[in-house]
C-alpha cells in the first residue's frame, strides 16, 4: 500500500518559470517530510525538508509547502534552471524509516 504518492510521473517547464511538484500522503501522523533529487546513474541527494509543525520552508530557489489538512506536500522551484532537470522524490520519515514516492521527472527546457 503506497504511503506516499506522486501522481505526476513527469513535468516539463520552461527555463525561468516556476516548477511545482506535488506529493500526497496517507497518514496524518507523519511528522517529517523531505524532497530528494536524483540524476541518472546517481543516488538520491537530499534537497529540502519540513516538519509537521511548519507549513513552509524555503531554501534559495526551493520552497516546500505542507498542507496537513489535505495531506499534501509540494515543492516549488523558482526560477527553474536546466540543471534542475532530474527525478524528484518526496519522502516521509516516521518510525525510523523512510517512505518514498514514485518520483516525478522534471525537464526544464532552455
Partner 1 sequence: GAVVSQHPSWVICKSGTSVKIECRSLDFQATTMFWYRQFPKQSLMLMATSNEGSKATYEQGVEKDKFLINHASLTLSTLTVTSAHPEDSSFYICSARDRGLAGGLIYEQFFGPGTRLTVL
Q: Which cell numbers hold the place of 109?
A: 527546457
Choose the binding region for partner 1 from 13-21, 43-51, 53-61, 63-71 (rule: CB under 8 A).
Answer: 43-51
Out of 53, 60, 97, 110, point to the residue binding partner 1 (CB under 8 A): 97
Check: CB of residue 57 under 8 Å from CB of residue 108: no
> From the CB of 102, what's the least distance to partner 1, in Å?
5
User: By CB under 8 A, is residue 22 in contact with partner 1?
Assistant: no
* Sign of the alpha-carbon torsion through 12, 40, 9, 52: negative
Draw the binding track, 23-42, toward partner 1 (x: CB under 8 A; -: no contact): ---------x-x-x----xx
Q: Cβ distance 25 to 73 under 8 Å?
A: yes
Among residues 74, 100, 95, 75, the alpha carbon closest in space to that of 31 is found at: 95
Q: Check residue 2 for interaction with partner 1 (CB under 8 A).
A: yes
Residue 68 has φ and ψ, to the nearest 5°, of -70, -35
Residues at the site binding partner 1, with contacts judged by CB under 8 A: 2, 4, 9, 32, 34, 36, 41-46, 49, 89, 93, 97-103
Amino acid at each position: 500500500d503506497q504511503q506516499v504518492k506522486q501522481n505526476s510521473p513527469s513535468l516539463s517547464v520552461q527555463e525561468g518559470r516556476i516548477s511545482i511538484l506535488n506529493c500526497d500522503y496517507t497518514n496524518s501522523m507523519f511528522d517529517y517530510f523531505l524532497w530528494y533529487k536524483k540524476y541518472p546513474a546517481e543516488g538520491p541527494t537530499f534537497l529540502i525538508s519540513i516538519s509537521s509543525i511548519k507549513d513552509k520552508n524555503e531554501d534559495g530557489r526551493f520552497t516546500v509547502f505542507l498542507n496537513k489538512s489535505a495531506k499534501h506536500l509540494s515543492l516549488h522551484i523558482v526560477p527553474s534552471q536546466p540543471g534542475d532537470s532530474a527525478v524528484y522524490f518526496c519522502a516521509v520519515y516516521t518510525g525510523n524509516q523512510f517512505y518514498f514516492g514514485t518520483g516525478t521527472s522534471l525537464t526544464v527546457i532552455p
